[in-house]
Structure 1
Amino acid sequence: MSSSKTTKVTETGEGTTGAGSVRLDHVTHQYGRRSETFTAVGPVDLSVPAGEFLVIVGASGCGKSTLLRLIAGFEHPTHGSVRVSGIQPRPGEAAGVVFQTPRLFPWRTVQGNIDLALRYAGVERAQRPRHRAELLARVGLEGVGQRRIWEVSGGQQQRVAIARALAAENPLFLLDEPFAALDALTRERLQEDVREVTAQTGRTTVFVTHSADEAVFLGSRIVVLTKSPGTIALDLPIDLPRGDIDAGQLRNSTEFAELRAQVAHAVKTTAA
């Protein structure tokens, strides 16, 4: 099975400087000052071609979220360089970002939160209702636009956060353990939604998780980080069907089970 083959960390070639592509060259990131510095991640070399769905997986504290913040432009590496679409990322411009908690405005309605994102994305007022309706339909929230944030479930709030992140036409989509606080059933449903949405939009996606099951279900490629400071221990292409396929059938397949076991073993080994 070709999907069980381990590849080298750095991949170069076509697609590494296109819209939505990500490139990390010799990246190390530290926190603190002088003798109290703590290296959170690195050195890391990584290229993500445009259109790929990369999942970063590893034990808690290995630097997954730090890498995502560097890609989003929220932080700058201590050493090395980060490029998104060939340039240094700027926060709010490089990517649409979804966090572990929705971070919505509770005093606004569902559609009010999305309208605000559309306004910041530069969508004209007259065009916002159409774009909003498209986004709500894309994340399965038709008919709930008038509800306040506190009137919808946790899973629906994360759907709003996803729609808000998609409001700007950024070619890069970043998600930092967005389903960690949800129940198992809601989590699986949202995994299926994200898989479908990213396939429809064709956006480059980087998704952070500590779950081997989630990583294999979502990713077209998985990177496993070592314990802190996080470096890449495994770079694994995922050769599973990504078209119109039953999610239950995919999760129950032998190929899925083998890949999940391989990723789980890598996470456990590197965390030891």
Structure 2
Amino acid sequence: MSSSSKTTVAPSTATTPAHTSSADGRPGSISLRGVSQIYGKGADRVTAVGPVDLEVEPGEFLVLVGASGCGKSTLLRLIAGFEQPAEGGVEVSGGAAVPGHTSGVVFQQPRLFPWRTVGGNIDLALKYAGVAKSERLARRKELLERVGLIDVDKRRIWEISGGQQQRVAIARALAARTSLLLLDEPFAALDALTRERLQDDLRTVSVESGRTNVFVTHSAEEAAFLGTRIVVLTKRPGRIVLDIASPILRTGLSAGELRDSPEYTVLRTQVHEAIKGAAE
């Protein structure tokens, strides 16, 4: 759990502890204990984030939110295993984070291979995931349908829109049967309508897959819509200033009903105020 204040908003605005158990070796669990990341040396030494203590339960959709430069993407890279912490320890599913093995990652830019077709990009991810060649066609179709893409597998990357490219990137990240999906501001470069549609799709996919998700954003609206749990970071060095569980149901509500609900309005406002206060 966070060493900072941790509360849960209920529809009545009452506050109670959000989590009482800690993550362990179960697939999809995440444990950050006393984690700090430091860049540079001497006069150029900068503490980007920390110390941070955070336990994430399997199946949670955790949103890391805060102003630019607060260290949320740094935390994501540590969870992915792209970096090692200067201090403290990171565990994913009870062991060390290993890039390409313990999690799938979606970046702000799709980072697809332009010389391959849509299907070719997915097939390559399936190959690295160890899926047998005889099974890849069916699995590719399943993944593309899951992210709302049908009959585009033979198209080149430059022949599809930016929003469709990001859908392909999500499908590629889902190709590996990892229990953890990490997303670093994947919709930031998209127009408002496309971003909203992909938020809707990601929310559905996360419920269907049952994976743990860690999503980085600077948007209170996006955090309130997607997260089962929201962590707000202070300005650099990033520390947890708010850790809150969402009162919003994951199923039984359409996207429109969710955005019109009073629970969403209360949560969005609380997160926005926390971001604003943490940046000062």
Q: TM-score, normalised by structure 2?
A: 0.94
CA contact (8 A) 1:6 1:236 kept: no
On the 8 A contact 2:104/2:180 being kept in 1, the answer is yes
Partner of 1:152: 160
1:124 matched to which residue of 2?
A: 132
Cα 1:5–1:96 change in 2 (3 A) is farther
Residue aligning to 1:191: 199
Q: CA deviation at 1:6?
A: 5.9
| Separation of aligned partners in 1, 2:195 and 2:208 | 20
One-letter code aligned to 2:195:
R
How much has 1:36 moved relative to structure 2?
A: 1.7
**1:227 matched to 2:235:** yes
**How many residues end up aligned between the 2 structures?**
271
In structure 2, the CA distance between the partners of 1:38 and 1:90, relative to structure 1 (3 Å rule), is: same
Contact 1:171/1:203 (CA < 8 Å) preserved in 2?
yes
Q: Does structure 2 retain, via aligned residues, the 8 Å contact 1:17–1:49?
A: no
Q: Which residue of 2 aligns with 1:18?
A: 26
CA contact (8 A) 1:6 1:237 kept: no
Query: Secondary structure of 2:216's match?
Result: strand
Question: Counterpart amino acid of 2:278?
Answer: T
Q: Deviations over 1:57-87 (max 9, x none)?
A: 0000000000000000000000000000011
**Matched residues in 2 for 1:21 and 1:243: separation?**
22
User: What is the one-letter code of the residue matched to 1:189?
Assistant: R
CA distance in 2, matches of 1:243, 1:150: 35
- Structure 1, unmatched stretches of 5+, are none
Q: CA deviation at 1:7?
A: 6.6
- Output one character per residue of 1:171-220: Cα deviation in whole Å (capped at 9) or x when no partner: 00000000000011110110011100010010000000000000000000
Question: Aligned to 1:191, what secondary structure does the other structure show?
Answer: helix
The aligned counterpart of 2:41 is 33
Inter-CA distance 5–174: structure 2 relative to 1 (3 Å threshold) = farther
> Which runs of structure 1 show a deviation greater than 4 angstroms over 4 or more consecutive aligned residues?
3-9
CA contact (8 A) 1:99 1:175 kept: yes
CA distance in 2, matches of 1:148, 1:22: 37
For each residue in 1:93-126, what CA deviation from the matched residue of structure 2 results, as whole angstroms up to 9, or x when unmatched?
A: 1100000000000111000000000000001111
2:225 to 184, 194, 217: 217
Match of 2:258 among 247, 250, 259: 250
Q: CA contact under 8 A between 1:57 and 1:209: conserved in structure 2? A: yes
- Secondary structure of 1:135's counterpart equals helix
Q: Distance in 2 between matches of 1:135 and 1:68?
A: 24
Give the deviation of 1:244 after TM superposition. 3.0
From 115, 129, 140, give the equivalent of 2:123.
115
Match for residue 188 of structure 2 among 156, 180, 193: 180
After superposition, what is the alpha-carbon deviation per residue over 1:140-189, rounded to whole angstroms, capped at 9, x for unaligned?
11111100000000000000000000000000000000000001111011
RMSD: 1.4
**3-state secondary structure, aligned to 1:197:** helix
Give per-residue Cα distances to partners, 1:15-47, cap 9 Å, x unaligned.
543101000000000111233211000000000
1:20-169 equivalences under 5 Å are: 20-169=28-177
Paired with 1:81 and 1:5, the residues of 2 have a C-alpha distance of: 33
Query: How far apart, in 1, do the equivalents of 2:92 and 2:106 lie?
Result: 17
Alpha-carbon offset, residue 245 of structure 1: 1.4
Give the equivalent residue in structure 2 for 1:238: 246
Aligned residue identity for 1:55? V
Superposition TM-score, scaled by structure 1 size = 0.96
Deviation at 1:128, TM superposition (A): 0.4
1:217-249 deviation digits (Å, cap 9, x = unpaired): 000000000000000000000010110311111
2-side partners of 1:122 and 1:105: how far apart? 19
